[in-house]
Amino acid sequence: MFYREAGEFKTSYVDDSQTFPIKFDRMRYYAVLVIGFGIIPFVINDYWANAVFVPFLIYAIAAIGLNILTGYCGQVSLGTGGFMAVGAYACYKLMTAFPGMPILVDVLLAGAVTAGVGVLFGLPSLRIKGFYLAVATLAAQFFLVWLFNKVPWFYNYSASGQITAPERTMFGIAVTGANTPAWAKYLFCAVVLFLLAWLARNLTRGTVGRKWMAIRDMDIAAEIIGVNPLTTKLSAFAVSSFFIGVAGALFFAVYLGAAEVGEAFGIQKSFLILFMVIIGGLGSLFGSFAGAAFLVLLPVLLKNVLVEGMGWPTDLAAHVELMIVGALIIVFLILEPHGLAQLWRVAKEKLRLWPFPH
Amino acid sequence: MPEQLLYAMEVSLNGLMAGIMYALVALGFVLIFKASGIFNYAQGVLALFAALTLVGLQQGQVPFAHVINAIFGTDLHHFGWQLPGLVAIALTALVMVGLAILIERLILKHLVNQAPIILFMATIGLAYFLEGLGDVMWGADIKKLDVGLPQGISEMIDTFTFNLFGYGFFIDRLDIVAAVVATALVAALTAFSQYTKYGRALRAVADDHQAALSVGISLRFVWVLVWSIAGFVALVAGIMWGSKSGVQFSLSLIALKALPVLMLGGFTSIPGAIVGGLIIGMGEKLFEFFAGPMIGGATENWFAYVLALVFLVFRPQGLFGERIIERV
């Protein structure tokens, strides 16, 4: 009744090639924007910001980044944690070296640095494929974490080996540091996510995105019809790493405030983000959001139920949580290997016929 | 002989021994990848789980004691018996076979024909689950594993090399046992896959699933078989690593050590896993010995990966992997 193409008459090319051709989708998009930017910042408090919203926004950026590489271009990467660390440390060095620079510029430049590193580690992808490549990206993960641990220049020779975000403001309001109000953290991350998601959406439906998908579906065939594998694969690595670097910078500067590389950006982080992408759905931007939301909410929920609801000791609850997360991932893969995005697609197909399915 | 050279020789010998330990884990990966095309990330956690179960059975721990205590307010710890090492190992092997059957029933059966990455993610989920299960069942504290394997410095090699070079090499006796066991294991596996009926079935499935099905080989049985063997290999690896450094969470991280070995040796080659393990073990110990002090140490975490990466750029299928032929 609400979700259908019928009755929508496009009269110009601009109308015809818009991102959301169906009215219901457009309304949903605007509704999400209104809620995200118009309502949540006014009602958010510290708990919700730190436990749910800020991690969700940041992981969504990282998941979109990995989805570009793995879902759209078909190159499996397990180095996400390492690339996030690059973003975090680049952001830290920029923040401390140029105190006057706006924080948004710091974050974006950190992304650009990560893009460079990503291209470097993406070079082997021209020779190596499949699982060999996935394992090869682990080289990036371990090498980068080791590098940031061992070279004191990266953490400004601080005694603890940690990096701590200094206070930086935007329009006079603290965005990083200890005095940041919850809504400022939220809004800053939300704006960055909005800009990057918009960029990703338009990249993936344009020439670049189609080249990525051609390489994903069959790289030799793509090469024969004139897609250059070198530029295509490396551009996927660059864009993906840019997103992941920005996510790393935000994760450190806005969310954590202080970070130790092995703990914050270890291999567990790589797996977590890969899970988000897979559970959300490979090759779907909506999936990146859904997967991030699912895996941010699940531990919060389980913790509330097991520790506060049933009064179990925290260490036992942590182990049971691990079991439940593992089992849920398996169940999910069995029931819907194409992820939450596929459920959404099926729902939309149903909606088009509703309420007269025959 | 100059001292530096002697040290380097000792280091490379120790590296070879460590490499065999890596190869033990890599072997499990190769078996499963060959037979079902699944990249089994859970192999390291299988080793941890096997070692935990072994210690638990040997010392008569009550499984799930922590949960039972938390729910019913009881105070259970041990049944109060001690099993001899061999009995405990046999029981653990049975548990691993049961686990293989469960994995096939509950997971693999439902994921036939899915993309490799989905199967890979499923094994990561399995790894999480088993890690949690192991801790919930047997407790998360560090345990000592002792099934009567010899430990400590090998006096024989020490005196032999001392007489030869005037400097005694330090080689752990446990490492020597591990080397012998690994060699025996590889020989047994090779013989099994070459000369027995089930071994042939296994190779047939590895070659072509559908062709194997059409000549009447039960895929499901072969999968249970191969996961049981992988579970057994994991048990052996768990015993070796557990005796060496105690049974604890970090045991599961040996999977990460085995991955570069796999890349180097090729995912589908059993001899490749051994040779790759030796190269990686020796390479990383020598690199740490020569270059480690200059660039801050702890290079073992990444050197193996970078070595494998550089190697793969020149030979994308690994040392012994099947030649990659691509067609449109």
Q: With the C-alpha atoms ordered B306, B311, B315, B320, is the resulting torsion angle positive or negative?
A: negative
Position B254 scores a pLDDT of 76
Residue B72: count other Cβ atoms within 10 Å of its Cβ.
Answer: 9
What are the tokens at A26? Answer: 């457009």
pTM greater than 0.80: yes
Position B152 scores a pLDDT of 65
Residues of B in contact with A136 (CB under 8 A): 263, 305, 308-309, 312
What are the tokens at B247? Answer: 């049974």
Helices (H), A34-102: 40-43, 46-48, 54-66, 80-97
Mean pLDDT of A211-226: 89
Report the interhelical angle of A182-204 vs A207-217 (nearest 10°).
70
More confident: A199 or B299: A199
Q: Give how far the C-alpha of residue B110 lies from the chain's centroid of Cα atoms, to the nearest Å.
A: 26
What are the tokens at A257? Answer: 């405030």
Four-CA torsion B94, B98, B100, B104, nearest 10 degrees: 160
Nearest CA in chain B to A132: B263
Mean pLDDT of B107-124: 82
Residues 6+ apart with CB under 8 A from A308: none
Q: With the C-alpha atoms ordered B109, B110, B112, B115, is the resulting torsion angle positive or negative?
A: negative
Side-chain half-sphere exposure of B188, counting CA atoms within 13 A: 10
Q: Is A178 on the interface with B (CB under 8 A)?
A: no
Q: How far apart are CA A45 and CA A39, in angstroms?
A: 12
Residues of A in contact with B312 (CB under 8 A): 124, 127-128, 132, 136
Position A195 scores a pLDDT of 92
Task: Tally the domains of chain A.
Answer: 1
Q: Which of B122, B132, B316 sits opposite A128 (nearest CB)?
A: B316
Residues of A in contact with B322 (CB under 8 A): none
> Amino acid identity, residue A171?
F
The residue assigned the tokens 């997967």 is A291
Q: How far apart are CA A66 and CA A59, in angstroms?
A: 10
A178: CATH: 1.10.3470
Position A63 scores a pLDDT of 93
Bridge partners of B11?
none
Closest CA of chain A from B117, distance in Å: 8
pLDDT(B42) > 80: yes
pLDDT digits (tens, 9 = 90+) for B50-102: 888 888 888 777 777 777 777 776 666 666 677 777 788 888 888 888 988 89
In a domain, A168, yes or no: yes
Q: E strand or H helix at A259, and its extent? A: strand A258-259
Q: Which of A124, A134, A333 sits opposite B125 (nearest CB)?
A: A333
Closest listed residue to residue B193, CA positions, set B7, B69, B30: B30
Query: Are the Cβ atoms of B308 and A322 closer than 8 angstroms?
Result: no
Q: What is the domain extent for residue A145?
A: 20-267
CB pairs under 8 A between A and B: 144
In a domain, A8, yes or no: no
Closest CA of chain A from B6, distance in Å: 29
Binned at pLDDT 50, 70 and 90, residue B156 comes out as low
In a domain, A121, yes or no: yes
Q: How far apart are CA B11 and CA B19, in angstroms?
A: 12
Helix, strand, coil percentages (3-state) for chain A, rounded to 5, are 75, 5, 25
Q: How far apart are CA A276 and CA A263, in angstroms?
A: 19
pLDDT(A235) > 60: yes
**B48, B103, B253, B309: best to mutate for the A interface, most A CBs within 10 A:** B309
Q: How far apart are CA A23 and CA A25, in angstroms?
A: 5
- Which A-chain residues 85-124 have CB contacts (< 8 A) with chain B? 124
In a domain, A256, yes or no: yes
Position A243 scores a pLDDT of 94
Helix, strand counts (H, E) of chain A: 17, 4
- Each domain of chain B, given as residue ranges in start order, spans 3-253
Position B111 scores a pLDDT of 82
Q: Is B135 on the interface with A (CB under 8 A)?
A: yes
